[in-house]
A and B are shown apart, each in its own frame.
Chain A
Amino acid sequence: MLYREAGQFKTSYVADQAIFPILQDRIFVALILAVAFVGIPVLAISAGAEAYWLGTIMVPLLAYALAAIGLNILTGYAGQVSLGTGGFMAVGAFAAYKLATAFPWLNVVLVFLLAGLVTAAVGIMFGFPSLRIKGFYLTVATLASQFFLIWLFNKVPWFTNYAPSGVINAPPRAVFSDIFVTGSEARPLAKYYFVLVIVTVLALAAKNLVRGRVGRAWMAIRDMDIAAEIIGIRPLQTKLLAFAVSSFYCGIAGALWAHVYTSSVEALAFDIDTSFTVLFMIIIGGLGSILGSFLGAAFITLLPLFLENVPPKLGLAISVNLVTNIQQIIFGALIVFFLIAEPRGLARLWQIGKEKLRLWPFPH
Chain B
Amino acid sequence: MTSAKRIGEVLLHAEGISLSFGGVRALTDISLEIREHEILAIIGPNGAGKTSMLNVINGFYHPQQGAITYKGATRRRMRPHQAAEQGIARTFQNVALFRGMTTLDNIMTGRLLRMRRNFLWQALYYGPALKEELEHREYAERIIDFLEIQAIRRTPVGQLPYGLQKRVELGRALAMQPELLLLDEPMAGMNVEEKEDMCRFILDVNDEFGTTIALIEHDMGVVMDISDRVAVLDYGRKIADGAPDAVRANQTVIDAYLGVAREA
Contacts and interface: CB of A to CB of B under 8 A. Distances in A.
Q: Do chains A and B touch in the complex (CB under 8 A)?
A: yes
Interface of A: 13-14, 17, 205-206, 208-209, 212-214, 216-217, 219-220, 222-224, 226-235, 241, 245, 288
B122 A213 contact: yes
Contact of A241 (B98, B101, B117, B119): B119
B134 A232 contact: no
Contacts of B130: 14
A235 B58 CA distance: 16
Contacts of A232: 81, 84-85, 112-113, 176
A208 B125 CA distance: 6
A208 B123 contact: yes
B144 interface: no
Contact of B109 (A13, A209, A217, A235): A217
A197 to B, nearest CB: 16
Contact of B90 (A17, A208, A217, A230): A230
A206 B120 CA distance: 11
Contacts of B133: 17, 212-213
A14 B127 CA distance: 12
Interface string B88-124: 0010100011111100010011101101010100111
Nearest to A19: B125
B35 interface: no
A231 B84 contact: yes
Contacts of A14: 130, 134
B100 A227 contact: no
Nearest to A223: B98
A216 B138 CA distance: 17
Contacts of B176: 231-232
B118 to A, nearest CB: 9
User: Do most interface residues of chain B lie in helix, strand or loop, or is the interface mixed?
Assistant: helix
A16 to B, nearest CB: 8
Interface residues of B, number: 39
B137 interface: yes
Nearest to B154: A16
- Majority-rule SS of A interface residues: helix
A214 B100 contact: no
B80 A214 contact: no
Contacts of B99: 223-224
A209 B121 CA distance: 9
A206 B124 CA distance: 9
Contact of A205 (B100, B113, B123): B123
B172 interface: yes
Contact of A216 (B79, B80, B112): B112
Contacts of B101: 216, 219-220, 223
Contacts of A216: 101, 105, 108-109, 112
A102 B224 CA distance: 76
Contacts of B80: 226, 229-230
A246 B215 CA distance: 41
A217 B112 contact: yes
Nearest to A79: B100
Given A209-B122, A209-B123, A288-B100, A229 B112 contact: no
